[in-house]
Structure 1
Amino acid sequence: MSFFQDLWQSIFEPGTSPQLLIATHLSFASLILVLAWLSYATRNVHFFALLAIASILWGLVTWFVNELQQANLRDNDELAQAQEEEFEKSEKDQKEQEEDQGKRGTRPQISSATGANVSSRRVRSRKT
């Protein structure tokens, strides 16, 4: 496949590909060259500012891509599997807590709307 076909395919795939990085660097290099030439030719302060902004942006994009490549990214299947394992673990922990409460003979705690734990037994308030 040609460079442009690979570049087009990389748009629809997650992460960065070598073709995308090459196209990004070529685009920024072209922009920097044009702005440098315009700054020299016109001596206009606006082109100098744009040159500085474009240079900083190129550096930040390069830094971000490097950080992204170093990060441990997981695909959707791995995320779904991790979420399922976490759900099963929380269910198991909840069942163990219920069994422990049953062995101790205590009543299960019911969480109220305010977040406070309330015994399942009704508590009568005393009027004083």
Structure 2
Amino acid sequence: MASFMEDLWSSIFTPGPTPTLLVATNVTFAALQALLLSLLVATYSIHFLVLSFLSGALWWSINWFAREVRQFQAEEAEKQKHADKEQVENTENNPDRSMRKTPGAIDATDSDTETEQVAGRKEAAPVPTSAPQSIAASATLQLPETHGEMRKRLSVSGESSGYQSTDSEWEKVDDNHAA
């Protein structure tokens, strides 16, 4: 029982439907169906019949999905096996083909992928900057404090207070409208 619990815990973090996880799912759904059947017999409530039907449909769909995933994985493994076999045969028959290009290699100019466009471009030479341009730019970008003048932002409303809320703005609109 301890090894089953350890396998179940590790199967949670394993992608795909693992056999341990499927066994736990089937046992859980079987227990749920038994509970719903016993509650149906005890209470004669149609709710338990509906819940049992929904639970059974979910149980079937989980098993169907797991079966489909297993079939897909088997097909992919078979395709990979054939591809590996062909690659080995091609390498043995034609030694020049053993030199494979990397996935980002450029074969033709008609490709539109980003990596191939970046790899195919020639790097532009850096634009030389001259000293007079940088001095002129730094002189125009200095803060006003360095020139000795301090500027104050003009108030839109004419008030000297720095705090303005939406309420005070509406009061100003009301005052202007009344005047």
Normalising by structure 1, report the TM-score: 0.58
Which portions of structure 1, spanning 4 or more consecutive aligned residues, are displaced by more than 2 angstroms? 93-96
Q: Which has the larger radius of gyration?
A: 2
Hey, what's the Cα distance between the residues in 1 that align with 2:43 and 2:31?
18
Q: Does 1:94 align with 2:109?
A: yes
Distance change >3 Å, CA 56–CA 26, structure 1 → 2: same
Hey, what's the Cα distance between the residues in 2 that align with 1:53 and 1:38?
15
**CA offset at residue 59 of structure 1?**
0.5
Letter in 2 for 1:94: T
Name the residue aligned to 1:66. 67
**CA offset at residue 58 of structure 1?**
0.5
Residue-by-residue CA offset, 1:49-91 (whole Å, 9 max, x unaligned): 00100011101111001001111387xxx9xxxxx74x54xx3
**CA offset at residue 13 of structure 1?**
1.3
**CA offset at residue 95 of structure 1?**
6.1
The number of aligned residues is 85
Q: How does 1:48-59 map to 2 (within 5 A)?
A: 48-59=49-60
Letter in 1 for 2:4: F
Distance change >3 Å, CA 40–CA 93, structure 1 → 2: farther
CA-based RMSD:
2.5
**CA offset at residue 94 of structure 1?**
2.4
Q: Which runs of 5+ in 1 are unaligned?
A: 79-83, 97-128
Normalising by structure 2, report the TM-score: 0.43
Q: Which runs of 5+ in 2 are unaligned?
A: 81-101, 112-179
Q: Does 1:18 align with 2:41?
A: no
- Percent same amino acid at aligned positions? 36
